[in-house]
Amino acid sequence: MERHIVQYHGGVTLLGGGAVEAADLHAALALAPALVAADGGGDRALALGLMPEAVIGDMDSLSPAGAAAIGPERLHRIAEQDSTDFGKCLTHVGARFYIGLGFTGLRLDHTLAALSDLAQRPDRAVVLIAEDELIFRAPPEIALDLPLGERLSLFPFGPASGTAEGLRWPIEGLNFTPAGRVGTSNEVSGPVRLCLAGEMLVLLPKRHLAAVLAALGLR
């Protein structure tokens, strides 16, 4: 059974040490008001004028000054090295859903690791905010109300297939794999309905955060 260091009934904003725009963070907090930092994300929170309710990770990135400002009662060190700090947060923070920022952008290996965490946790409702995009693991079925012509990408993190309505280029009969066929830069042609099997990530422009949470049944 997973041990939750902190537990919330609603949404949690998880903050990493990567690239974060203040406007994106405030948009996330408006929807998921509890702020939890992943290791060096504690420094990022302080730099943006915010105090995290908890900092979770192996504590190899949080600065001594940041640790002192946040205080030992909010610091939760998880020493094991089999998971990322993002993964540690998903394991040890209980919440209805999670919005993650600061887990992409600065280092490609960290970005790929965060996407891997996202793909591996079907038990967690998580939306990542990247520089320009929202990224979330597709549930078996989802309907999205998006503007005509909007970009929608599908990226497999394992074998995946499915059907889709409302996309310019059909996906029926296609077998997606990370090292084979992927589904980047599709285009919305009507009301979107996806029925997918396998580990598939959906990428949309980040202005659709509220619509995505609603489509996932989280608002």
Token duo for residue 95: 């919440």
Buried b (16+ CB within 10 A) or exposed e, 172-189: eebebeeeeebbeebebe
**Rounded CA gap, 144 and 51, in Å?**
34
Spatial contact of 25 and 41, defined as CB atoms under 8 Å apart: no
Low-confidence stretches of the chain (pLDDT < 70) are 1-3
Record the pTM: 0.93
Query: Is 94 exposed, middle or buried (CB count within 10 Å of its CB: 0-12, 13-18, 19+)?
Result: middle
Number of Cβ within a 10 Å radius of residue 54: 21
| Superfamily classification of domain 137-215 | Thiamin pyrophosphokinase, thiamin-binding domain (2.60.120.320)
Give the H/E segment covering residue 38.
strand 34-38
Sign of the torsion formed by the C-alpha atoms of 200, 207, 100 and 211: negative
| Architecture of the domain spanning 6-131 | 3-Layer(aba) Sandwich (3.40)
**What residue spans define the domains of the chain?**
6-131, 137-215
Spatial contact of 102 and 16, defined as CB atoms under 8 Å apart: yes
Sign of the torsion formed by the C-alpha atoms of 85, 92, 32 and 59: negative
Residue 41 sits at the vertex; the CA angle it makes with 40 and 42, to the nearest 5 degrees, is 85
pLDDT score at 3: 66
